[in-house]
Amino acid sequence: MTKRYFGTDGIRGRVGQDPMTAEFVMKLGWAAGKVLSKQEKGHVVIGKDTRISGYIFEAALEAGLAAAGLDVTLMGPMPTPAVAYMTQAQRATAGIVISASHNPYYDDGVKFFSGDGFKLPDSIEHEIEDMMDQPMKMVESKLLGKVRRLEDSRGRYIEFCKNSIPFRTTLKGMKIVLDCANGATYHIAPHVFRELGAEVFEMGVSPNGLNINKDCGALHPQNMRSKVLEHQADLGIAFDGDGDRLMMMDATGEIMDGDEILFVIAKSQLVSGGLGGGVVGTLMTNLGLEHALKTQGIKFERANVGDRSVMERLKANGWFIGGESSGHIIALNQTTTGDGIIAALQVLSWMVEKDLTLAEAKMGMHKYPQVMVNVPVAHKLNPAEFPQIQQAVEEAEQELANKGRVLLRPSGTEPLIRVMVEGDDAKQVETLANQIADVVKKVAPKV
């Protein structure tokens, strides 16, 4: 059954427009509270990223949850994976993150974790949506929820991250550039890597409410290059605004995306005996990763795009490691959701153990040329419904002659059609991607 408000990663939209209004978010808090605390008085932890609208939506959620009779613990700016961890650590009924992840400051969103630190199942999201149709009624005064602020949440999460690698592993002698995207990792990631012994050079650690993800972080990893080269750093790490994604850069300024990070982690855990099965990627995962894992004897499976889909396949298979090209890496033997800091530490731990550079660590994987063209459309639509688009795709697939892939899909978070073409000839791939995108622009409803 189609959901009205929840998308692939919670609820997200333009601030001040439905559904991201103070009124809607307060009602959402109340509805979620009513659904999540049917058996006993509930307790919810709330974290947010650094965008200015977080103040409004934090207060709105707090009011709605308390009106439903739930206690609330506010943690302030915290990465999404930190909220997942603290939900478990606090034995909370649920965790809520106020964030639009990699989107600009003028967007915001709300996403939920259940008490076990995993995203809410579809059935609960449907229940919350149904409850939104009911009139909002406060519990009687003596049953209202209480609100407190947890002052040491940052320190607790820093220790959790450090404990994700062997106790005696040290990063001493390593120079690292960190780009925190002026987002939720700005006051956490530098401490993690410094306390493990690295020399850290910071970027994107001055959030002002408006500059989250702006020309920085995992969306713009190339902006680390000058600093990596200037300081002769061993590597660079760029996080997105809510800290659940990362990109890396080697000492020469070469960018390393999520597929390559996934390969290094899988290879290292295969050697250590901790892989626990195969690896889950997505429809967007580069063919190079699939082939590289095959040479290592590691099983590989593709899921639909989105960490929810990756998680579903991991759980179904009983595997631990999965992720996306965008840098969303899930390591279920470490945590319950994508975590940029912990993913980076898995790579660095392997480098230290084997005395490797980042470039050496990723050896064994050759990426196929891949071009992605984003075509704005008036609303979400299915490309398969347009015969001209399907004809363009079929012609491109014939030209690739089984030496590549074509994938069209609507974005789960924005009104875009993503056109991806992959093959062994870079020039051919670019030409075909643009040809298909031109057809989409002609026939799809305009913005």
2-22 pLDDT, tens digit per residue, is: 889 998 889 999 999 999 999
Architecture of the structural domain at 370-443? 2-Layer Sandwich (3.30)
- Residue 382 has a pLDDT of 82
Looking at residue 433, its pLDDT comes to: 96
**Could you state, in chain order, the average pLDDT of each consecutive group of 10 residues for the chain (447 residues)?**
88 97 98 88 96 98 97 98 98 97 97 96 95 96 96 96 96 98 98 98 98 98 98 98 98 97 97 93 93 95 92 96 97 96 98 97 93 87 88 94 87 83 94 95 78
Q: Which of 408, 339, 348 is nearest to 372 (CA)?
A: 408
Q: In CATH, what is the architecture of 11-150?
A: 3-Layer(aba) Sandwich (3.40)
- Report CA-CA distances (Å) from 411 to 97, 182, 383, 418: 21, 24, 11, 7
Q: With 0-12 CB in 10 A as exposed, 13-18 as middle and 19+ as buried, what is 51?
A: buried
Q: What is the pLDDT of residue 413?
A: 67
- Could you state, in order of their start, the residue ranges of all structural domains in the chain? 11-150, 171-255, 258-361, 370-443
**pLDDT tens string 223-238:** 999 999 999 999 999 9
**Which residue, 261, 268, 254, is CA-closest to 239?**
261
**What pLDDT was estimated at residue 8?**
81
Pairwise CA distance, residues 326 & 151, whole Å:
32
The C-alpha R_g of the chain, in whole angstroms, comes to: 22
| Cα gap 337→111, rounded to integer Å | 12
- Given its phi and psi angles, is residue 292 left (phi above 0), alpha (psi -120 to 50 degrees) or beta? alpha
Are 313 and 322 a contacting pair, CB within 8 Å?
Answer: yes
Check the CA dihedral 331-239-61-5 and report its sign: negative
At residue 409, the pLDDT reads 87
Count of other CB atoms within 10 angstroms of residue 159: 10
What pLDDT, on the 0 to 100 scale, is given for residue 222?
Answer: 97
Please determine whether the domains at 258-361 and 370-443 fall in the same fold group of CATH.
no
DSSP of 123-158:
HHHHHHHHHTTSPP-PPPGGG---EEE-TTHHHHHH
CATH number of 171-255: 3.40.120.10
Cα angle 401, 399, 306 (rounded to 5 degrees) comes to: 80
Output the CA–CA distances (angstroms, integers) from residue 353 to 241, 256, 412, in the order listed: 30, 20, 39
Task: State the catalytic residues.
Answer: 101
Q: What CATH number belongs to 258-361?
A: 3.40.120.10
H/E stretch holding 266 reads: helix 258-272
